[in-house]
Amino acid sequence: MSQNSTAPKLQPAFIPPADGRIVILTGAGISKESGLETFRDAGGIWSKVRLEDVATPEAFARDPKRCHAFYNMRRARHRAADVQPNAAHHALVRLEQGWPGDVMVVTQNVDTLHDRAGSKNLIHMHGTYNQARCNFCGHVIANEGDLSVEDVCSACNKAAGMRPNVVWFGEMPIEMERIYGALSDCDLFISIGTSGNVYPAAGFVAVVSKHAGAHTAELNLEPSAGATLFAEAHYGPATATVPAYIDALLQSL
């Protein structure tokens, strides 16, 4: 996709060297304009359901039917025809394809909008909605439809253990070694559409500033919980700020 010439201009405060490494962290805000809800905004997911009831291993052990109902509803929404990658997802693909150095996207989102836009060097640190995992043997399968307590694992044949392959509170996020490797070696860290409330992702900006000495930029609708830790910030909807910021980086080449 080429740059939209009507897009607002934005001047990044720092341009990395052309072979510089860029790590981008994304959160629910980047998918908001694709029609998916965020968690902590007014009217967001955690204003309608308590995370303690649906997003912890204890909640699943206590009431698996309730967890399944919550994720079946979210999965159905993610599959809806009107939920498509937006200009911010596409801009990150342009960066990966056009920037000579390494570009890695680390997303906290369980939606597949980065994948569908075409991001390749992508880590889903909180898992994805379209996989299920057996709680007993760890077997992972592709799963686009509803899950239930009646489902039987095709590997160990046990029932009632199939769960969404997402990371709940108290669980270890995915591929942390690879993520910290990229963070410790990057020149630019960009955080997009995340409130900075959930660790370890909320701590990445401090890790990068301290250990890599890299430049840090926040692109969000409003200042995040960690806003003061960033060297640079641009506030507005992701479909405006992200394409403008990325195209300015690419035009510097």
Fill in the per-residue mask, 175 to 214: x = in contact with ligand BJW (CB under 6 A), - = not in contact.
Answer: ------------------xxx-xxxx--------------
CB nearer to ligand BJW: pick between 19 and 222? 222
Q: For the segment 67-96, give every residue that binds ligand BJW (CB under 6 A).
A: none
Report how many residues bind ligand BJW under the rule CB under 6 A: 35
Residues 16-35 interacting with ligand BJW (rule: CB under 6 A)? 27-29, 32-33
Cβ 234 to ligand BJW shortest distance, Å: 10
* 70-75, Cβ contacts within 8 angstroms, sequence gap of 24 or more: 71/129, 71/147, 71/164, 71/166, 72/146, 72/147, 74/110, 74/129, 75/129, 75/130, 75/144, 75/145, 75/146, 75/164
- Select 147 or 187, whichever has its Cβ closest to ligand BJW: 147
- With CB under 6 A as the contact rule, which of the stretches 135-143, 144-152, 170-178, 182-190 interacts with ligand BJW? 170-178
**Of 12, 1, 19, 20, residue with least CA distance to 251:** 12
Q: Clarify whether 126 is annotated catalytic.
A: yes
- The stretches of the chain forming alpha helices (DSSP H) are 29-32, 45-48, 51-54, 57-62, 64-79, 87-98, 113-117, 176-183, 204-207, 238-251
Residue appearing with tokens 């299920």: 132
Residues forming the site for ligand BJW (CB under 6 A)? 27-29, 32-33, 38-41, 44, 55, 108, 110, 126, 166-173, 193-195, 197-200, 220-222, 224, 237-238
Active-site residue set: 126
